[in-house]
Every structure is written in structure tokens, then in C-alpha cells.
Amino acid sequence: MIHPLLRAVRRGPCFVFGAAVSLAACAPSDAPTPAPETFTVTFETSRGPFDIEFVRAWSPVAVDRVWALAGMQYWEGSRIYRVNDRYVQWGYSGQPGLDAEWVPSGIPDEPASSSNVRGSVSFARGGPGSRSTILFINRGDNSNLDDLAWNGVVGFPPVGRVVSGMEAVDQLYSGYGDDPMQWEDSIAARGNAFLDREYPLLDSITSVFVR
């Protein structure tokens, strides 16, 4: 879905149409455009919308990545594939070709300067330089993640916080729990076709708006 503002603007390597960028317009190797100090992204989902305010000072490299991905509507159509009492997680676009380009393209690590309290949003990570496209919302107080040593990296730096719509986050389908996590290779390789067949009740991100 294209943002109503249609004026084309040149921003670094990408052509931006209002807040939206063609999925083919940017690549992970492009020099990132610095994000504003704060901006809000509305995620419309099958359970209703939620708004996340991203704060560049908390994790500048990571928030620049969010700015690029949200602007190109990377997550539009994403399935919210992990929902449990502690986390809500998404991040695969559902398009295997696109995910093959972006998911392996990690960004440099940064220390946590905010806390993983309820409503805060962080990148998932599996080791050094592995933050790329996968985000999670803390549904509870997970401040233990702030300085948790995990696979050679310390901490999960928050990048933003839910400022409205936490009730929609709390209503996302949780019946599968962490089970889809064991099939992340299949999610990456086969996209939404795999998830829709194996986990048909998952909720989706239906549109993404930057404002």
C-alpha cells in the first residue's frame, strides 16, 4: 500500500514516495539513510493496529535499519509467527527472494541504552552482527535481556516502544507458541506459503505506515 503522499524524494540510494519505497529500490548494501530522531510506524494487523515509536538515540544503527525496512513496507504481509506470554515476534517478509537478500544482512552490534520492559521493541539476534529484519515486542517485563550474554553478544537493545494498540498485541493468536520457531529455515526458504499451510491461524501484518 502506497502512502497517500506521492511526491518522489531522493534519499540516499533510495527513491522515497512519501514514506514508501519500492521493494526493489533499496538493497542491504546501500548506504543507509539516517532515520529521524523519532518516528512512528503504524502496523495494521488482523487483530487491529498498533503504533511503535522508534527512538534513534537508543540504537542508531538498528533504528536506521527499521527506517529503511518500514519505508519500503518490508513487513507488509508478514506473519506474526511467535506469540507467547513474553514475546510477539515477526520479521520475515514472506517473500523468499526478498528474505534471502535482507535476513542474512546483519548490522553492527550496539549496547542496550533502554530496557526491555513491557511494550518495548527490540531486534532478535542469534550472535554477533545478526540483527537484520526480525523484531519482537516485549509482552512482559523482560529487563533481564538488557545485559543477557547470548552467543557471544551482550544485551538486546530496544529500538522503540508501543505507544498505542497494546491491546491488539495482547490479542494476537498465541496457540502455536514458539513452535514455528523450529522451522525458521522453512519460513525463510518457502515464505508465507509454508506458514499458511502449517500454521493457518497466525495473524498477519496487513499494512505498514510511517509517520
CATH code of the domain covering residue 191: 2.40.100.10
Whether 8 is covered by a domain: the verdict is no
Whether 40 is covered by a domain: the verdict is no
Whether 130 is covered by a domain: the verdict is yes
Whether 164 is covered by a domain: the verdict is yes
pLDDT at 17 over 70: no
Of the two residues 25 and 92, the one the predictor is more confident about is 92
The position carrying cell 533510495 is 14
Spatial contact of 76 and 1, defined as CB atoms under 8 Å apart: yes
Of the two residues 173 and 24, the one the predictor is more confident about is 173
Could you give the percent of the chain with pLDDT greater than 90? Answer: 83
Looking at the structure of the chain, the number of domains it has is 1
Spatial contact of 144 and 162, defined as CB atoms under 8 Å apart: no
All cell numbers assigned to 75: 513487513
Whether 7 is covered by a domain: the verdict is no
Least confident stretch, 13-22, 61-70, 103-112, 146-155: 13-22
First to last CA, the chain: 14
Whether 12 is covered by a domain: the verdict is no
Whether 27 is covered by a domain: the verdict is no
Give pLDDT tens digits for 153-184: 999 999 999 999 999 999 999 999 999 999 99
Whether 49 is covered by a domain: the verdict is no
Residue length of the chain: 211
Domain housing 166:
58-210
